[in-house]
Structure 1
Amino acid sequence: MAVTTTSANTCPPNCGLRRNGCYAESGPLAIHWRAVSEGLRGSTFDELLQEISTLRRRALWRHNQAGDLTPSSPGVIDAGLLVRLARANRGRRGFTYTHYSPTPANGAAIQQANQLGFTVNLSAQTLAQADSHASLGIAPVVVVLPQGTIRPVRTPAGRQVVVCPASLGNTDCLNCGICQQRDRAAIVGFPAHGAGAQRVQAIFFKGRPS
């Protein structure tokens, strides 16, 4: 499955996982991400759009295994670039995740991308935040879960959270595709993993009612 990596300066400044457990900041991916961020690897945005246009029809692909949507200013998604990305994706099944806060401006950009067929998942760090994101009705939602979670859970508002099938070893991303399903009702949960898993798990439990 085709994937992209975007420079670290695209990550929103208020992301709770930034330098605090983000899986892309350690391991082999971190080496590649650092090279992209330093301009030693990669291409321009226009070249990216051209590459997307060469993917076969209905191809499933993931944008940003590391990095986030391109900002126009700190904390603000560049809506124009996101629309161009969504239009380049037409006829294909691209998806991504974002830690940008769904402010009115960001939320409108994210909703428009989803309406154009490019799936942008809102990423939550706690079950309460997942409820908050889901209540907006603008995009599908994903959330981190404690290490080793294998069974579905419920948010405080009763929404179902299904554990990522690939993390359970039942399939892989290419043969699953649940994160690309824009109209799904379920929230997808990703058990904390990688070198920073303990820190990610700590963030999750801080947002959990005692």
Structure 2
Amino acid sequence: MRVLIVDDEAKITNVLSSYFEKNGDYTYIANTGESAIQMVDQVPLDMIILDLMLPDMAGEDICQYVKSNYDIPVIMLTAKISIDDKIKGFEMGADDYVVKPFHPKEILVRAERLLPDSHKKQVITLGQLEIYKDERKVLINHQSTQFTPHEFSILLLLAENPKKVFSRDDIIQKIFGFDSDINPRIVDQHIKNIRKKMKEDYIQTVFGLGYKINEKVKQE
């Protein structure tokens, strides 16, 4: 599980990071709202632990941004205890709401309970498409289809975030790395190759923006 911990208190981020990493998870830390959003856009995440009171941005606004663009569970952390605050948090899309102080093990348990079944099983199903993440294997109509490593990574990125439109630059950063000097048209060629290997149009072109999973394809 790849977890982003967003809090401006180093003590909290360090303790939570330690618990998750001992559990075998990967953690990323952001101390401001701006850095949190940058991390969300740059790193494929499975879970976000989000403090509501940050120095530069309201946690509710960050949560709303995440939920508008990604399918990532969000656990809100806050010192606010009123029912109105909790309702507001859930209205912004929070999947869980924990009031400080808390035990870090509680956060770990809550995060594991929220993890989607597709991540637990390491399989994503989209119509007749099955993506096995650990094995880096793709089945279409139950038939194995070969993809290059970059093709597989691009397909997985889109499938894990079906609400998100990824620009060419987004895909280059996430698949090839921040410092990669790659012609953006290479992404178009990879998308073209992926489409050739599929009978259905699983990847949609959003004119002027980039690529995303076709919402007409049923996700199970």
Provide TM-score, normalisation by structure 2.
0.32
Question: Which is helix-richer, 1 or 2?
Answer: 2
Larger RCO (alpha carbons 8 Å, 6+ apart):
1
The structure with the larger Rg is 2
Provide TM-score, normalisation by structure 1.
0.33
